[in-house]
Structure 1
Amino acid sequence: WADMDNGYDAWVPDNNEDLTTFSDKPGKDRQQTTGASLKSTWGLGASGAELVTITAFSRSELEHSYDGDWGNDEYWLAEYGFDPDVEGWSYDFFDRNVRDRTVVSQEARLLVEELVVGAYWKRLEEEDNAAGYLFGGDATDLNGRYEIDNLAFYGQYGLDLSEKLRLEVNARLDRNDTAYEGTTANYGADSTSTAFAVDQWLGGGKAALSYNWGLGHTLYASASRGYRSGGVNQHPYLAAENRPYDPEYIVNFELGWRVRGPRSSIGLTLFHALRSDQQVELSSQQDPGDPNSFFYFTANAVKGRNSGLEWEHTVRLLPQVELFGSVGLLTTHVDTYTFPTEDGEVTLGDRAAAHAPNYTFSVGGEYRHQSGLGARLALIGMDQFFYSDGHDQISEPHRLVNAHIAYQWEAWSVQLWGRNLLDERYGVRGFYFGLEPPDYADKLYKTYGDPRQVGVRLTTQFSSLGN
């Protein structure tokens, strides 16, 4: 059982770094979930084979709502001269979406030494209800229903080719059926209905070789094919061509080296991935004077590719002191693609993918004393990245400092922790559209990562208390 009831008020018209908002109708980010699962294991005779079944059920109620204009009458009048009495209408938008989601799943798998085979079934039913000044006033209510059925068969086998060389292979076959029905209504107008369904077979797998070189050294290589299922975009005013989106496939090749010693460990992985029918998030604004007519939908690009490396290293300088560091390098590319809009075809791509920084890193140290006292200090960083596949606005690189001091005794531990200790402001999401009257010129609007946070964590292990 989980119950989360949070407010949502994260955007401002002026991108101020004081984290001061002007919304007169703050929203909510709420979720309440109940669920249960049952796992059973049966031994199948003297062979050592096992049959495992997992049955699961969950039901969630979710609410997401927000102030669509991020302001209030006084703010728009003082900063932009927008007077509701003169204009004849109030620049005031609000959006609320409530979802009721039920998920039932059943899995059965057979384990025979190095062989695993299994089947998995899941059904998701979701009802969406939105109310307010929707889609620029074109609707006051939206009622939608998703039904998604997934059936999968999978297998895995491991084989020692020699004392040092091991082969592992796995494969998965998926059947995915997605159906959506939705109705929008407005004052004095006939309702608009949308119905769409897609079904698809998906297949993937992986083959991996690992070689135990000796002295803690391991070399490994793998080739895999993964996928992300397609689906249906919910928005009622999309063009018919934009309603469905296809599955995305990725073929990935990895080559790596790991070494573990008494005082240090190193890991290095090189990878290259080829993506086809890459799913991208595009954006469209139906009405230049209405921020609530700005929405995202999922579409397919032509092809893309990712290449890079990941390196991590830890060194124990003293019994109580350990240094650590990691670096990730990434290059991405999405080929040119087009999609239809009300204003004709738009061409995008031929650039890096969204939210794909060229580098990430972390470096720091940790101290642990036999008395139970410990401390950790880390510097983490990230390069700039495109905020969206639908526009060319870019974030800025950022660096954050995190730390904690801890003390552990018997079954208890207490930790004083801090994140973003230098209170840096850094963008994590960015929208590019027209919000500000009277011209509603397109502009980048950013929401920032968490400011400085400090807290205390107290934990215990009940099993140790019993001893």
Structure 2
Amino acid sequence: MLPVKTKSLLKTPLALAVMSALYAGNLMAATESVERVAPESEKMEVIVVNADFSHVSLDKMPSSVTVIDAQQLADEGAQHFEDVLNSIANFNWSGGSSRPKYFQIRGVGEQEQYQGAPNSSVGFIVDDIDLSGLGMVSSMYDMQQVEVLRGPQGTQYGANALAGLIYLKSNDPTDTFENGVKVSLGDDDLQTFSGFSSGPVTDSGKLLYRVSVEKHDQNGFKNNTYLDRDDTNKRDELSARAKLRWYATDDLQADLTFLYADFDNGYDAWTLDNNGTNTLTDKPGVDNQKTTGVGLKLSYTGAKYFELTSLTSFANTDHQHAYDGDWANPDYWASKQCTAYDSDWNESGTEPCVYDYIWDKTGKRKTISQEFRLSSNQASRIFNDSTDWLVGVYAMNLKEDNDLYSEYNTWPDEVLQSDYEATNYAVFAQLDSHLGDDYLLSTGLRFERRDSEYSDTNQDHFKPSEDMWGGHIALSKALNDSHNTYAKVARSYKAGGFNMTLPAELADKKEFDTEILYNYEIGLKSVWLDGVLDSNFALFFMDREDQQVAASLQDPENPQRFILFTENAGSSSNYGAELDLNWYATENLQVYGSVGWLETEYGDYSYQDKYGNTIDLSGRELAHSPSLTYSAGITYLADSGWFANINTSGKSEFYYSDSNESKSDPYNIVNARLGYETQTWSAYLWGRNLFDENYGVRGFYFGNEPDLDWADKQYIRYGDPRQVGVTFDYKFM
């Protein structure tokens, strides 16, 4: 039986139309149904982790990794990374942007970045192009799989992967022609048009191509009642990828990737009354990102004693984040009464409020990176032919220019232009030794040098440089054909930095130190029930030294202004567990899910609030670190071609910020997808957040209402409400 709310959705005109189309399609293609379930002997397919040096299979990798493959992305109808991130155990995000780009893994990560130098705790890689801190341009169309590596990746990725790594791998070119188009329509004026083409360029089959494009538009679920518009929080997103694969010789393969994304989104998400739908702003904000990226991977296997891999990438990004900081309009504020003052700043009664505030930051970022890896082949194993080796060098240059302008009651408030450049150099090595009795010992080490320089129009100038190191030791053992266990110790780092535009009383916080994270982990990867059920389990403990904490103070003299800075908070510890399950219950039914348990705790850390009071956070949980995350899904495909998927995910409560005690409410979201599939076309009716759960994704606690004398108050931004729509997908040769 379907829930009552789901039944009501199926009675809408949109739903009736698609059901009619599905029924007609069933009559037309009764003999054309598609089989997606693998034969019995192939159900547990080998999933390769592309983010790993050796492209090891998931069941053999000594680390906690979640891989969401193309089939699950299709079954759940994922359009953007935002649609799948709740499926990942011990993973959270901060909703301070139009699309998620601030992530937390096991309680470690950023919640926002309003100013300063980019310095991510969670790496974000798309087809070997580094977009860390810029993850909002992450369309799931034509995606092969999503990989999330939990815990520090100090050997392979260094400074940008203290907490872990998100790696998106799109589909590669094919040696036969494949083409497809997809259209989705839904409420909130949703329109998504997608298409791809793949195949050989030459008759010899040595040059292959793949091109995919997606245009996604919707209004953004907000009604601006002041401007009488429903698109001030719009999503206007264009994503395109092109790949060329050239088999230059029998020993040399070249993969060239082009990436282009233009997200021209609105940002009108906050309200004074925490209304999830109606906004009042007169100057709605924007959240734009335009990224062009190029990646070149060369793989050479012709040498006698080594294999060579070269990774070259370039990315250029223009981004802008702006918002109406008073969250209302002149007419609204004029209807409120504020305290009036005489010329000596004594209270003299009340008068209509005047409050108008805008904040606007634009940035330009360029990154260039080069990595060379030499790895052993069959002829060059060492230590009596027992050990594979890999050595490499890495360099990356990042430049970012920012222009910040804010205005309070027509007067410039914060005006700052800044230039930042950082260059990282690293050398790394890894040994994978077969010790006998099915034991495998993996050791890795990375040394990294970071030189940076920052200057701005506020006369701040910094040139910090530092040397850092990370690595890992992992011992794994195949207990038998069905169970593989491991123990791992890893060390990683996050570079120190500096705070700009601080007042004199915070002069001692100008700079902060490098953060070090040690991760201790044991895990078990298993196959059960004659190969129809697999599980990945990990238990971990994380020890953070000189933890970097993003702090903020509201200026009591200028309440529209916040003083933002990062400081070290001594030590903290996180521990918990993750479990991923995948079960082919029958030839037609698949069940999958995940559970994450997380406990976080500050060490010795206290700070002073805007009134000078000491706030002690020692022993408190970290922000955006829910103790429980979970997801579950069921996919059914009938022999006749009828398809259904229902999936759910949820989180326990968590603190919104390190600077206050406000918390989210626990929530659970249910999505469903019903359709009909053939070998060439498919049609679906779908719904996201079916029960219209009201869930917070970001919260602030501060004073933003002058008629209340700037009294502190809880403000919450909510996630997307219920949405229903239809999708038609057609593939042809």
Assess same fold via TM > 0.5. Answer: yes
* Correspondence for 1:451 among 721, 724, 728: 721
Partner of 1:128: 402
Partner of 2:265: 6
1:223 is the counterpart of 2:489? yes
The 2-side partners of 1:386 and 1:412 are apart by 45
Partner of 1:255: 522
The 2-side partners of 1:453 and 1:322 are apart by 25
Q: Would the aligned equivalents of 2:334 and 2:352 in 1 still touch at CA under 8 Å?
A: no
The 1-side partners of 2:544 and 2:574 are apart by 8
Partner of 1:38: 296
Q: Which moved more, 1:244-253 or 1:316-325?
A: 316-325
1:297 is the counterpart of 2:297? no
Q: In 2 relative to 1, CA 406–313 (structure 1 residues): closer, same or farther, beyond 3 Å?
A: same
Q: How many angstroms does 1:165 deviate by?
A: 1.3
Partner of 1:331: 599
Paired letter, 2:359:
D
SS in 2 for 1:330: strand
Partner of 1:73: 330
Q: How does 1:56-205 map to 2 (within 5 A)?
A: 56-78=313-335, 80-82=336-338, 87=351, 90-113=354-377, 114-133=388-407, 139=413, 141-183=415-457, 192-205=458-471
SS in 2 for 1:46: coil
Q: How many angstroms does 1:140 deviate by?
A: 5.6
Q: How many angstroms does 1:121 deviate by?
A: 0.7
SS in 2 for 1:45: coil
SS in 2 for 1:240: helix
- Post-superposition Cα deviations, 1:408-457, rounded to whole Å, max 9, x if no partner, equal 33354444432211111111111111111231101111111111133444
Q: In 2 relative to 1, CA 38–92 (structure 1 residues): closer, same or farther, beyond 3 Å?
A: same
The 2-side partners of 1:283 and 1:317 are apart by 51
SS in 2 for 1:329: strand
Paired letter, 2:333:
W
Higher strand proportion, which one? 1
Q: How many angstroms does 1:169 deviate by?
A: 1.4
SS in 2 for 1:161: strand
The 1-side partners of 2:521 and 2:420 are apart by 37
Q: In 2 relative to 1, CA 83–345 (structure 1 residues): closer, same or farther, beyond 3 Å?
A: closer
Q: What TM-score, normalized by structure 1, do the two folds share?
A: 0.89
Q: Which moved more, 1:382-391 or 1:27-36?
A: 27-36
The 2-side partners of 1:88 and 1:176 are apart by 53
Paired letter, 1:35:
G
- Post-superposition Cα deviations, 1:237-295, rounded to whole Å, max 9, x if no partner, equal 4722223222211111111112113222222211111111111121111136533x025
Paired letter, 2:638:
H
Partner of 1:209: 475
Q: How many angstroms does 1:339 deviate by?
A: 4.6
* Correspondence for 1:286 among 552, 555, 558: 555
The 2-side partners of 1:427 and 1:340 are apart by 27
Paired letter, 1:331:
E
- Post-superposition Cα deviations, 1:313-332, rounded to whole Å, max 9, x if no partner, equal 33333221223332211111
Q: Which moved more, 1:413-422 or 1:208-217?
A: 413-422
Q: Would the aligned equivalents of 2:334 and 2:353 in 1 still touch at CA under 8 Å?
A: no
Paired letter, 1:69:
D
Paired letter, 1:437:
P
Q: Tell me: higher relative CO, structure 1 or 2? Use CA pairs within 8 A at least 6 residues apart.
A: 2
Paired letter, 1:93:
Y
Q: How many angstroms does 1:458 deviate by?
A: 4.8
Partner of 2:282: 24
Q: How many angstroms does 1:39 deviate by?
A: 2.1
Q: Which moved more, 1:395-404 or 1:169-178?
A: 169-178
Q: Would the aligned equivalents of 1:145 and 1:180 in 2 still touch at CA under 8 Å?
A: yes
Q: In 2 relative to 1, CA 236–456 (structure 1 residues): closer, same or farther, beyond 3 Å?
A: farther
Q: Which moved more, 1:259-268 or 1:21-30?
A: 259-268
Paired letter, 2:360:
R
Q: Would the aligned equivalents of 2:320 and 2:360 in 1 still touch at CA under 8 Å?
A: yes
Q: How many angstroms does 1:401 deviate by?
A: 0.5
Q: Would the aligned equivalents of 1:289 and 1:435 in 2 still touch at CA under 8 Å?
A: no
Q: Would the aligned equivalents of 2:370 and 2:395 in 1 still touch at CA under 8 Å?
A: yes
The 1-side partners of 2:410 and 2:396 are apart by 36
SS in 1 for 2:364: strand
The 1-side partners of 2:282 and 2:430 are apart by 55
- Post-superposition Cα deviations, 1:153-209, rounded to whole Å, max 9, x if no partner, equal 1111211111421111111111122221111xxxxxxxx321123221111111111
Q: In 2 relative to 1, CA 255–136 (structure 1 residues): closer, same or farther, beyond 3 Å?
A: farther
Q: Would the aligned equivalents of 2:449 and 2:467 in 1 still touch at CA under 8 Å?
A: yes
Q: In 2 relative to 1, CA 290–57 (structure 1 residues): closer, same or farther, beyond 3 Å?
A: same
Segments of 5+ residues of structure 1 without an aligned counterpart are 184-191
Q: Would the aligned equivalents of 1:134 and 1:141 in 2 still touch at CA under 8 Å?
A: no
1:369 is the counterpart of 2:638? yes
* Correspondence for 2:498 among 221, 224, 232: 232
The 1-side partners of 2:408 and 2:291 are apart by 27
**Aligned sequence identity (%):** 37
The 1-side partners of 2:726 and 2:465 are apart by 49
Q: Would the aligned equivalents of 1:316 and 1:322 in 2 still touch at CA under 8 Å?
A: yes
Q: How many angstroms does 1:304 deviate by?
A: 0.5
Paired letter, 1:45:
A
Q: Would the aligned equivalents of 1:57 and 1:104 in 2 still touch at CA under 8 Å?
A: yes
Q: Would the aligned equivalents of 2:355 and 2:409 in 1 still touch at CA under 8 Å?
A: no
Q: Which moved more, 1:333-342 or 1:34-43?
A: 333-342
Partner of 2:141: none
Q: Which moved more, 1:414-423 or 1:387-396?
A: 414-423
Q: In 2 relative to 1, CA 460–146 (structure 1 residues): closer, same or farther, beyond 3 Å?
A: farther
Q: In 2 relative to 1, CA 346–151 (structure 1 residues): closer, same or farther, beyond 3 Å?
A: farther
Q: Would the aligned equivalents of 1:387 and 1:430 in 2 still touch at CA under 8 Å?
A: yes
- Post-superposition Cα deviations, 1:120-152, rounded to whole Å, max 9, x if no partner, equal 111111111122417995646311111111111
Q: Would the aligned equivalents of 1:372 and 1:409 in 2 still touch at CA under 8 Å?
A: yes
The 1-side partners of 2:563 and 2:684 are apart by 42
Partner of 2:656: 387
Partner of 1:186: none
Paired letter, 1:352:
E
The 2-side partners of 1:193 and 1:258 are apart by 54
SS in 1 for 2:508: helix
Q: Would the aligned equivalents of 1:374 and 1:406 in 2 still touch at CA under 8 Å?
A: yes
Q: Would the aligned equivalents of 1:338 and 1:345 in 2 still touch at CA under 8 Å?
A: no
The 2-side partners of 1:108 and 1:240 are apart by 42
SS in 2 for 1:193: coil
The 2-side partners of 1:325 and 1:340 are apart by 42
Q: In 2 relative to 1, CA 2–363 (structure 1 residues): closer, same or farther, beyond 3 Å?
A: closer
TM-align CA RMSD: 2.5
Q: Which moved more, 1:231-240 or 1:27-36?
A: 231-240
SS in 1 for 2:334: helix
SS in 2 for 1:325: strand
The 2-side partners of 1:340 and 1:179 are apart by 30
Q: Which moved more, 1:266-275 or 1:132-141?
A: 132-141
SS in 1 for 2:333: helix
Q: Would the aligned equivalents of 1:268 and 1:309 in 2 still touch at CA under 8 Å?
A: yes
Paired letter, 1:33:
T
Partner of 2:346: none
The 1-side partners of 2:607 and 2:552 are apart by 11
Q: Would the aligned equivalents of 2:354 and 2:409 in 1 still touch at CA under 8 Å?
A: no
* Correspondence for 2:678 among 395, 409, 416: 409
Partner of 2:65: none
Paired letter, 1:264:
L
The 2-side partners of 1:453 and 1:38 are apart by 39
Q: Would the aligned equivalents of 1:241 and 1:340 in 2 still touch at CA under 8 Å?
A: no
The 2-side partners of 1:331 and 1:227 are apart by 21
